[in-house]
């Protein structure tokens, strides 16, 4: 038997037109400060590019909040989102991964909604712990 | 002391974001006075990377003035 223990919660709203403007203004190398190669490849490959970029941005901010440090101690590209899956997935690297380990976060659950010209992302960081019977 | 050229670049970037020049001075606080959101602060970081080739994080625990930001930029440029 195991139980799910919630270790962190985060929510964020990202403006689709603002993120689209950001993406249009800068080249790939500069954007790599925010988005990983995988994220850019995926977002550029789909019809709803602007929504995908805004969702990546919103999930990153939400995850940083769930990690309890915001983006003060973590770089944007250390939080990677995989939108190619049915449910968005989160992968962490370097400082973000270390912070998740400190909090005991093993997995992430991501939910999101598109509201007018914004994307609302909600993330839960949790662990599965064994229960002694 | 704020380097005039660095401050000028910062002013240009802020104006491109739609910030009025009347709001901009060395003592202006990024968050308290300009009320920039996370997209806008990222845009400043990306513009600094493109123009000067430096990496500056604007996400900080304490609000910074534009003069303090200029000092961080100068420090990053000299590294």
A28 and chain B in contact, CB less than 8 A: no
CB-nearest partner of B42 from A27, A34, A70: A34
Q: What's the pLDDT at A133?
A: 67
Write down the pTM of the prediction. 0.92
DSSP annotation string for chain A = -EEEEEEEEEEEEEEHHHHHHHHHHS-HHHHTTTS-HHHHHHHHHSTTHHHHHHHHHHHHHHHHHHTTSTTSSS-GGGEEEETTSSS-EEEE-HHHHHHHHHHT--EEEEEEEEETTEEEEEEEEEEEEE---
C-alpha A33/C-alpha B13 separation (Å) is: 17
Determine the distance in angstroms separating the CA of B77 from the nearest CA of chain A, rounded to an integer.
17
Confidence of residue B2 (pLDDT cuts 50, 70, 90): low
Model confidence pLDDT, tens digit, residues A23-32: 999 999 999 9
Q: What's the pLDDT at A43?
A: 97
Looking at beta carbons, which residues of chain A come within 8 Å of B50? Answer: 26-27, 30
CB-nearest partner of B59 from A18, A22, A72: A72
Model confidence pLDDT, tens digit, residues B8-66: 999 999 999 999 999 999 999 999 999 999 999 999 999 999 999 999 988 888 899 99
A63 and chain B in contact, CB less than 8 A: no
Model confidence pLDDT, tens digit, residues A46-80: 999 999 999 999 999 999 999 999 999 899 999 99
Looking at beta carbons, which residues of chain A come within 8 Å of B55? Answer: 33
| Assigned token pair, B75 | 């420090």
Residue A95, pLDDT above cutoff 90: yes
Q: What's the pLDDT at A9?
A: 98
Integer CA distances (angstroms), B72 to A31, A129, B11, in order: 21, 44, 15
- Mutate: best of B31, B37, B42, B50, partner A, most A CBs <10 A: B42
Among left, alpha and beta (phi > 0; psi -120 to 50; other), residue A33 is: alpha
Q: Do B59 and A26 touch (CB under 8 A)?
A: no
Residues 104-133 of A with CB under 8 A from B: none
What 8-state DSSP symbol labels residue B66?
H
Confidence of residue B79 (pLDDT cuts 50, 70, 90): confident
Confidence of residue A86 (pLDDT cuts 50, 70, 90): confident
Q: Do B59 and A71 touch (CB under 8 A)?
A: yes
Residue A106, pLDDT above cutoff 90: yes
């Amino acid at each position: 038997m195991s139980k799910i223990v919630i270790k962190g919660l985060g929510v964020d709203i990202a403006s689709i037109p603002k993120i689209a403007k950001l993406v249009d203004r800068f080249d790939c190398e500069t954007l790599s400060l925010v988005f990983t190669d995988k994220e850019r490849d995926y977002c550029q490959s789909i019809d709803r590019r602007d929504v995908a970029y805004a969702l990546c941005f919103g999930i990153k901010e939400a995850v940083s909040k769930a990690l309890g440090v915001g983006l003060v101690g973590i770089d944007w590209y250390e939080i990677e989102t995989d939108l190619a899956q049915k449910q968005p997935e989160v992968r962490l690297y370097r400082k973000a991964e270390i912070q998740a380990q400190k909090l005991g976060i093993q997995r992430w659950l991501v939910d999101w909604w598109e509201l007018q010209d914004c994307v609302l992302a909600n993330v839960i960081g949790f662990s599965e712990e064994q229960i002694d019977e | 002391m704020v380097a005039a050229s660095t401050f000028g670049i910062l002013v240009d970037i802020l104006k491109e974001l739609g910030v009025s020049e009347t709001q901009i001075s060395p003592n202006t606080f990024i968050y308290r006075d300009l009320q920039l959101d996370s997209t806008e602060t990222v845009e400043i970081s990306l513009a600094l990377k493109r123009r000067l080739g430096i990496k500056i994080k604007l996400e900080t625990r304490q609000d910074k003035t534009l003069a303090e930001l200029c000092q961080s930029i100068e420090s990053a440029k000299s590294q």
